[in-house]
Amino acid sequence: MTEELRARLRALPSFPGVLPVFDPSGAPPEPEPLFLAWLDEAVRDGVFAPHAATLATTDATGAPSARVLILKDLDDDGWSIATPADSRPGEAMLASGRAALTFFWPSLGRQVRVEGAVRRAPEAESAADFLARPASARATALVGRPSAALADEAAYRAARDAAAARLEAEPGLVPPEWALWRIVAELVEFWQASDDRAHVRLRYRRTGASWARERLWP
């Protein structure tokens, strides 16, 4: 079975036949404009959830974990994501103060990696993010207990219904655990796949107030 599975996996296509051409020599001096340009291309190409990224963290014991979240904003303060402070990724970011994001747009053969320090946004900004979520998402978040074992579906449904009713009575309610986080990038890498596997990699490294750009071997 192992040989059969290995053969099946190797036969699966990785990227489409036609891929964009990326010339790093024309890249901007900072990574954010290039990311936004690639994001716009992903949107035009019809990539589903192009703003989704894998958030990777390590907790106080060094145990790694990863999950997919949505990029909420990108500005001078950093790359913004949201998750409760008492969730596994929230606790890990509080413990280590660091995190990484990976965006992947397979139809374009592109990845973007972001690494850096994490800062929790002020309460007012976290509250604004929470209140901008759909009512159903706010009810789910209000139930809490992220990553706790669920033994009774009926109990969860009852708790969620109670949370929805509470939000209807208190539309401005924000759980204190809800947090907006900003990853202050220290490294951003752009990866463009190539049919001949000579993939193009461009890395930005923060050096004080500016960025150093460097090509990497494929």
Alpha-carbon distance of 157 to 139, in angstroms, equals 11
| Residue 70 marked as a ligand binder | yes
C-alpha distances out from residue 111 to 50, 139, 175, 190, Å: 11, 33, 34, 6
The number of beta carbons lying within 10 Å of the beta carbon of residue 95 is: 14
- Quote the tokens at residue 31: 């990574």
Q: Is 133 annotated as a binding residue?
A: no
Consult the annotation and say whether 206 binds a ligand.
no
110 marked among binding-site residues: no
Pairing relationship of beta strands 78-82 and 73-75 according to DSSP bridges: antiparallel
- Is 111 labelled a binding residue? yes
How is residue 65 written in tokens? 């974990």
Rounded Cα gap, residues 106 and 203, in angstroms: 19
| Best CA proximity match to 20, nearest among 170, 215, 193, 185 | 193
71 carries a ligand binding annotation: yes
201 annotated as a binding-site residue: yes
CB-based contact 57:65 (threshold 8 Å): yes
191 is in an annotated binding site: yes
Q: What is the DSSP string of 151-198?
A: --HHHHHHHHHHHHHHHHH-TT---TT--EEEEEEEEEEEEE--TTS-
Annotated binding site for FMN: 67-72, 88, 111, 191, 201
Annotated binding site: 67-72, 88, 111, 191, 201
